[in-house]
Structure 1
Amino acid sequence: MIAINDLTFLIGSRALYNEANWHIKPGDRVGLIGANGTGKSTLLKLIVGEYTPTSGSISMSKELKIGYLNQDLLSYESHNSILHVAMEAFERQNQLHHEIEELLKKIETDYSEDTLRKLSNRQEEFAALDGYNIEYRANQILAGLGFSEEDQHRALNTFSGGWRMRVMLAKILLQDPDILLLDEPTNHMDLPSIKWLENYLMGFEGAIVIVSHDRYFLDKIVNRIVESRKGKLTSYSGNYTYYLEEKELRSEIQRGEFKNQQAKIKQEERLIERFRAKASKAKMAQSRMKALEKMERVEDVDDDNPTVNFSFKFTKASGRHVIRIENAYKSYPAIDILENADAIIEKGDKIALIGANGKGKSTLLRIIAGTEPFEGKCETGHNVTETFFAQHQLESLHLENSILEELQSFAPKHTDTELRSLLGCFLFTGDDVFKKIKVLSGGEKSRVALAKSLTTDSNFLILDEPTNHLDIQSVNILIQALQQYEGTFITVSHDRYFLDNVANKIWFIEDKKIKEYPGTYEEYEEWQVTRDKNSKPVEVNKEPKKEKAKKEEVTKSVSDDTSKQLKKLNNQLQKLEEEIEAQNLSVQKLESELGNEAIYSDAEKLKSVNDNYSIAKMDLEKLQQKWEKMAEEILILEESL
């Protein structure tokens, strides 16, 4: 299908690829991976002919139809509707449609056999190309990518960059290419659209090459991984998870070979050193030296998985309640976001806020951060210090600072070694840390702003799409950082692997309310599948009216009883929360007494306060256990209604 042979591509004096080889075969579904800057996007541009190789060749059939999605398409402008733009994919059908329209006008005055024959031919070809269904097909794909019927008639230039990218993807998918080259196709997509795209690509019959940092997406779609590293392309069969296992196995073998070779080299060097001065052995020593010089060296294995070597600390711990939202109302001219919504964020919560675009995720984060006006109450708890990371935070970076200076001015308590260690995790190594902010790309600025957020003396983090512009290694570093972080955070992200590894609660906005699932993202997904199955309409068997009425009466009675029980439990839960709050204050008061140095000079008083503290702490734990059990009962009852 496509053969890449001995490909070399130079940027200045640097070889991005050096005699790299790769053959793409029909049916291949490839994940093209590698650290930022290793040439993944460049390779796709080489394949489509936007760049020319320095040496080597890329060969393919002239008839091969390539569908290429890249981030440059964000700049595409059009005043036409997105439906019209998507249907531009049907070039021949559109041409035939125009010709048929013209011939139909002509036939009103010209009944000649030639005109009728042309019209008949055009209509036959149009039907053979399924021309009568092209609008339906465009509708289906645009709907799958998150566009409502009303949206499809809006002009392309009225949409933001991320939505425009989806339109361009729709256009490419409608072209029915032989091979799809997709550069970060899930960027700017919400979770429902990503899942739709996964299902679509699983049914796609052509070859696919995907550049993506979304591990779950790669695991679902690809059957081969090609890694771009050190100018070479290395192929692994299987999906991304299998690649990790296979690479570790290959690395283990390579480490063994390297270790054995190094031992052999040292042994040879000792022999040469020992005998080179002796005339009788000099010839043998020279021979061994030449053999050693010609030896093909095995490289040691580089560590591609850096770990966080940084202390995330804050000086003050927050109180139990970090954020309390009550009776929140928020709407925009075209949509209502929240209506009489309540929610609580408690100390130690690691919350993933998920849902489709346009449902109000970023709006809710701004409400929590205090930067979005709304009706209702959003109270910040005792000793809560927050940091809000969002893409617009890039504007607050000081352009004349170097990367290291930017972090030094923001986090003076951390040493240069600590800061450079953190920056190294986010791919700023060596002299990179002295680059001025003003020369960085958007993705690099995003990584600096994220590293800056993690150095803060805050016990509450608000993170809006922190995984944007991060490669897989950097996402792993962020996961490690948040797993080590002892404070509280809420994050919005479309990276499911990231969410599944950092969150212990899931929030979602439904029916203009903030709803919570108390578990991991994977558990939430399983619960959601079950809930969707249970909510599907069931075919009702015809039955006598009396029996039906009797059943409805029983159902209503059960439902009423459940509602009463639920109301009673909610009242009990509220009282229990008040008890917990009061008990928490008692514990804090006793902690304060134990923190007073004067008490340690009075052994009897110290024992009394210490005993009271132990009892109060035990009582608090019992109340919290009781609260958890009651909250679980309420959740089960709510699901049964």
Structure 2
Amino acid sequence: MIAINNLTFEIGARALYDEANWHIKPGEKIGLIGANGTGKTTLLKIIVGDYKPTSGTISMSKDITLGYLNQDLLSYASDKSILHVAMEAFERQNQLHTEIEALLKKLETDYSEDLLNKLSDKQHEFEALDGYNIEYKANEILAGLGFADADQERKLSTFSGGWRMRVMLAKILLQAPDILLLDEPTNHLDLPSIVWLEDYLRSFEGAIVIVSHDRWFLDKVINRTVESRKGKLTVYAGNYSFYLEEKGLREEIQRGEFKNQQAKIKQEERLIERFRAKASKAKMAQSRIKQLDKLERIDDVDDDNPSVNFTFKFGKQSGRNVTAIEGISKSYPNLQILDNADAIIEKGDKIALIGANGRGKSTLLRIIAGADKTFEGKCETGYNVTQTFFAQHQLESLHLESEILAELQSFAPKHSDTELRSILGSFLFTGDDVFKKIKVLSGGEKSRVALAKALTADANFLILDEPTNHLDMASVNILIQALQQYEGTFIAVSHDRYFLDNIANKIWFIEDQKIKEYPGTYQEYEEWMSKRKYEPKPAPIPQLQQKEVKKEPVKQQPSEDKNKQLKKLNGDLTRMEQQIADLEKEVKQLESKLTEDGVYNNPAKLKETNATYQQKQSSLNQVQQQWETLAEQIMELEA
């Protein structure tokens, strides 16, 4: 269908592509992947003719139709209804409809046979093109992308950029081109719409090329992966998971070939040094030098998967209950979000809050964060909870005149410059980039700086609203690793299912204006939901029961006043904190000892050390529970 041969594309002195080759075949569903800046979007623009290559050719049949979804379509404006805009995809059908209407008007006064024949021909072509069903098709696709029936008559200009992009996607899908070129199609979709799009694309008969950072989406849709890297295009015959496995095997082979070649080169160099000193062997030495110069060198494998080398730091542990939501009701004009809803966030919870747009996910996060107080009911923050809230509007809190590194230094003085630069490198700010002023950054770059700030906060509770926006796959993996080793509590909203599946141990969703909970990973939740849909009578939602902690009243002796008792309890609390610190130190020492060769390879020592470790860990847990109970008693007395 499309043949790309020896493609070179230069931007200034930099070659984005250098004699790259790639053939797109009928029916292939391809994921075009690569780090930011490797030219994925540029390649799509070259294919559709927006950019001209420096050299090389792109060949395709003249009758091939292309459908191209790109972020530039966000600027498209119209005062027509979104249904009308979507139906603009049916160009010939719309033209025929207009001509048929004009002919019918003429027939009111002119009954000539010529006019009747023209009308018959037009109606026959209109029917052959399924013109009578185009409105139904447009309705169906707009509904799949999340538009209610009433919304379809609203003007396009009244929708936000993300919803306008959905209309443009609907229009492109309705065109049914031979090849779909989709640049980040899931960026502005909620989870139900992404699932609908996956099903649609799997059944699409033409070829598809998708640029996306959503690896779960790619795994569901594509059957080929093309990696853009170092100016070349490398094809892998499978989905994204297959690509990762296959690339790992290829790199292992390459790494072995590199080591073997390096050993051979060193051996040749030693021989040359020995022969060079002898006149009788000088000719042989020169011959070997020429052979080495002609040798095609094998490159070592680059590490494209950096790992997290910073740790979260927060000064104090929270109490058992981080946030308690009791009887909350929240509504907007004509929309009830929550109605007498209850929920609790406990220490150590890693919660993914999911659902369709408009169900109140971001509203609930703002309530939990204390940024929205216009609700009925109670949302109480627990003892010793320190929180940080990341949301897109947090970009406004950045200091525009500050340099990126200085912004983090002033916010997180406990972190070293090396740690801060490592965090910024994870979010695509490397080298001198960290000295850029924030005012010159794009919206996406500012979002990444705000996320980096959130991760350096001295907080034991993170509230994250769409943290994966504007991140490539490598940066999403860094964020996953960071959250996996985070010892505090967090709740996150995201449409990236791979991200959610790797960070969450609980799923929250809003249903019937209530907050409901599934105790498990995202993949387990999906499997449960798919079974639930087909059950005639849905089983009760498996929800963790909130434990009711019965607090014993503080018993006071008649002769002991409140202040004296508080002083005694605070003294006990201080001694207990020291006990916790000592036990934590012992546990860490034992953890380190368990990895020592002398212990690990000695079954008797290993068993003895492990038993001691388990005993200390159990003691630590008990003391921590006693500390929480004591802290609650102190709070009651101070109230």
Query: Shorter-chain-normalised TM-score: which range?
Result: 0.7 to 0.9
Distance of aligned partners of 1:22 and 1:536 in 2 relative to their CA distance in 1, 3 Å threshold: farther
Match of 2:532 in 1: 531
User: Given residue 594 of structure 1, which amino acid in structure 2 is its aligned partner?
Assistant: M
Q: CA deviation at 1:55?
A: 0.6
Match of 1:499 in 2: 500
Match of 1:467 in 2: 468
Match of 2:550 in 1: 578
User: Given residue 391 of structure 2, which amino acid in structure 1 is its aligned partner?
Assistant: A
2:360 pairs with 1:360 = yes
Q: CA deviation at 1:435?
A: 2.0
Distance of aligned partners of 1:263 and 1:129 in 2 relative to their CA distance in 1, 3 Å threshold: same
Equivalent-residue separation in structure 1 for 2:442 and 2:43 (angstroms): 20
- Report Cα offsets for 1:451-508 as digits up to 9, x if no partner: 1110110111110000111111111100000001111100000011100000011110
User: Given residue 105 of structure 1, which amino acid in structure 2 is its aligned partner?
Assistant: K
Q: CA deviation at 1:593?
A: 3.0
Deviates more, 1:430-439 or 1:72-81: 430-439
Equivalent-residue separation in structure 2 for 1:50 and 1:619 (angstroms): 63
Equivalent-residue separation in structure 1 for 2:578 and 2:310 (angstroms): 32
Q: CA deviation at 1:591?
A: 4.9
What is the DSSP-based 3-state SS (H/G/I as helix, E as strand, rest coil) of the residue aligned with 2:359? Answer: coil
User: Given residue 329 of structure 1, which amino acid in structure 2 is its aligned partner?
Assistant: S
Distance of aligned partners of 1:596 and 1:53 in 2 relative to their CA distance in 1, 3 Å threshold: closer
Q: CA deviation at 1:535?
A: 3.5
Distance of aligned partners of 1:48 and 1:615 in 2 relative to their CA distance in 1, 3 Å threshold: closer
- Report Cα offsets for 1:199-258 as digits up to 9, x if no partner: 111110100111111111111111110000000000001111111110000000000000
Contact 1:324/1:345 (CA < 8 Å) preserved in 2? yes
Equivalent-residue separation in structure 2 for 1:108 and 1:486 (angstroms): 79
Contact 1:30/1:208 (CA < 8 Å) preserved in 2? yes
Q: CA deviation at 1:578?
A: 2.5
- Report Cα offsets for 1:427-468 as digits up to 9, x if no partner: 222222222222222222221111111011011111000011
Match of 2:274 in 1: 274
Equivalent-residue separation in structure 1 for 2:379 and 2:504 (angstroms): 22
- Report Cα offsets for 1:264-320 as digits up to 9, x if no partner: 111111122222232222211111111111111100000111000002110011111
Contact 2:311/2:482 (CA < 8 Å) preserved in 1? no
Match of 1:550 in 2: none
Q: CA deviation at 1:523?
A: 1.2
Equivalent-residue separation in structure 2 for 1:211 and 1:580 (angstroms): 59
User: Given residue 445 of structure 1, which amino acid in structure 2 is its aligned partner?
Assistant: K
- Report Cα offsets for 1:112-142 as digits up to 9, x if no partner: 2222111111111111110000000000111
Match of 1:637 in 2: none
Match of 1:46 in 2: 46
User: Given residue 506 of structure 1, which amino acid in structure 2 is its aligned partner?
Assistant: I
Contact 2:576/2:623 (CA < 8 Å) preserved in 1? no
Q: How does 1:382-461 map to 2 (within 5 A)?
A: 382-461=383-462
Equivalent-residue separation in structure 1 for 2:250 and 2:220 (angstroms): 24
Q: How many residues align?
A: 579
- Report Cα offsets for 1:529-587 as digits up to 9, x if no partner: 222121469xxxxxxxxxxxxxxxxxxxxx9xx9xxx9xx98xx76x42259999x999
What is the DSSP-based 3-state SS (H/G/I as helix, E as strand, rest coil) of the residue aligned with 1:3? Answer: strand
Q: CA deviation at 1:618?
A: 8.5
Q: TM-score, normalised by structure 2?
A: 0.87
Contact 1:224/1:235 (CA < 8 Å) preserved in 2? yes
Equivalent-residue separation in structure 2 for 1:198 and 1:587 (angstroms): 59
Match of 1:593 in 2: 575
The CA RMSD over aligned residues, in Å, is 2.7
Contact 1:328/1:377 (CA < 8 Å) preserved in 2? yes
Equivalent-residue separation in structure 2 for 1:388 and 1:66 (angstroms): 42
Q: CA deviation at 1:619?
A: 12
What is the DSSP-based 3-state SS (H/G/I as helix, E as strand, rest coil) of the residue aligned with 2:149? Answer: coil
What is the DSSP-based 3-state SS (H/G/I as helix, E as strand, rest coil) of the residue aligned with 1:448? Answer: helix
Contiguous gaps of at least 5 residues in structure 1: 538-558, 601-610, 625-641
Match of 2:159 in 1: 159
Contact 1:587/1:617 (CA < 8 Å) preserved in 2? no
Q: How does 1:95-110 map to 2 (within 5 A)?
A: 95-110=95-110
Q: CA deviation at 1:595?
A: 4.1
Distance of aligned partners of 1:425 and 1:293 in 2 relative to their CA distance in 1, 3 Å threshold: same
Equivalent-residue separation in structure 1 for 2:133 and 2:553 (angstroms): 63
What is the DSSP-based 3-state SS (H/G/I as helix, E as strand, rest coil) of the residue aligned with 1:266? Answer: helix
Distance of aligned partners of 1:615 and 1:486 in 2 relative to their CA distance in 1, 3 Å threshold: closer
Equivalent-residue separation in structure 2 for 1:302 and 1:252 (angstroms): 11
Match of 1:476 in 2: 477
User: Given residue 261 of structure 1, which amino acid in structure 2 is its aligned partner?
Assistant: Q
Match of 1:513 in 2: 514
Q: How does 1:174-573 map to 2 (within 5 A)?
A: 174-372=174-372, 373-535=374-536
Equivalent-residue separation in structure 1 for 2:569 and 2:100 (angstroms): 83
Match of 1:130 in 2: 130
Equivalent-residue separation in structure 1 for 2:42 and 2:77 (angstroms): 24
User: Given residue 454 of structure 1, which amino acid in structure 2 is its aligned partner?
Assistant: L
Equivalent-residue separation in structure 2 for 1:616 and 1:59 (angstroms): 67
Contact 1:69/1:183 (CA < 8 Å) preserved in 2? yes
Contact 1:8/1:17 (CA < 8 Å) preserved in 2? yes
Equivalent-residue separation in structure 2 for 1:58 and 1:277 (angstroms): 55
What is the DSSP-based 3-state SS (H/G/I as helix, E as strand, rest coil) of the residue aligned with 1:534? Answer: coil
Q: CA deviation at 1:614?
A: 5.8
Equivalent-residue separation in structure 1 for 2:256 and 2:456 (angstroms): 39
Q: CA deviation at 1:167?
A: 0.6
User: Given residue 550 of structure 2, which amino acid in structure 1 is its aligned partner?
Assistant: E
Contact 2:5/2:56 (CA < 8 Å) preserved in 1? yes
User: Given residue 463 of structure 2, which amino acid in structure 1 is its aligned partner?
Assistant: I
User: Given residue 114 of structure 1, which amino acid in structure 2 is its aligned partner?
Assistant: D
User: Given residue 179 of structure 1, which amino acid in structure 2 is its aligned partner?
Assistant: I
Contact 1:325/1:378 (CA < 8 Å) preserved in 2? yes
Match of 1:629 in 2: none
Match of 1:617 in 2: 622
Match of 2:560 in 1: none
Equivalent-residue separation in structure 2 for 1:471 and 1:493 (angstroms): 14
Equivalent-residue separation in structure 2 for 1:577 and 1:101 (angstroms): 74
Contact 1:2/1:23 (CA < 8 Å) preserved in 2? yes
Q: TM-score, normalised by structure 1?
A: 0.86
Contact 1:324/1:380 (CA < 8 Å) preserved in 2? yes
Match of 1:547 in 2: none
Equivalent-residue separation in structure 2 for 1:594 and 1:424 (angstroms): 40
Distance of aligned partners of 1:211 and 1:589 in 2 relative to their CA distance in 1, 3 Å threshold: farther
Equivalent-residue separation in structure 2 for 1:412 and 1:516 (angstroms): 37
Contact 1:402/1:434 (CA < 8 Å) preserved in 2? yes
Match of 1:144 in 2: 144
Match of 2:588 in 1: none
Contact 1:465/1:494 (CA < 8 Å) preserved in 2? yes
- Report Cα offsets for 1:82-126 as digits up to 9, x if no partner: 000000000000001011111111111111222211111111111
Q: CA deviation at 1:338?
A: 0.7
Equivalent-residue separation in structure 2 for 1:245 and 1:40 (angstroms): 22
Equivalent-residue separation in structure 1 for 2:39 and 2:237 (angstroms): 21
Match of 2:608 in 1: none
User: Given residue 243 of structure 2, which amino acid in structure 1 is its aligned partner?
Assistant: Y
Q: CA deviation at 1:398?
A: 1.8
What is the DSSP-based 3-state SS (H/G/I as helix, E as strand, rest coil) of the residue aligned with 2:233? Answer: strand
Contact 2:464/2:492 (CA < 8 Å) preserved in 1? yes
Distance of aligned partners of 1:308 and 1:129 in 2 relative to their CA distance in 1, 3 Å threshold: same
What is the DSSP-based 3-state SS (H/G/I as helix, E as strand, rest coil) of the residue aligned with 1:578? Answer: coil
Match of 2:170 in 1: 170
Deviates more, 1:86-95 or 1:376-385: 376-385
Equivalent-residue separation in structure 2 for 1:498 and 1:615 (angstroms): 32
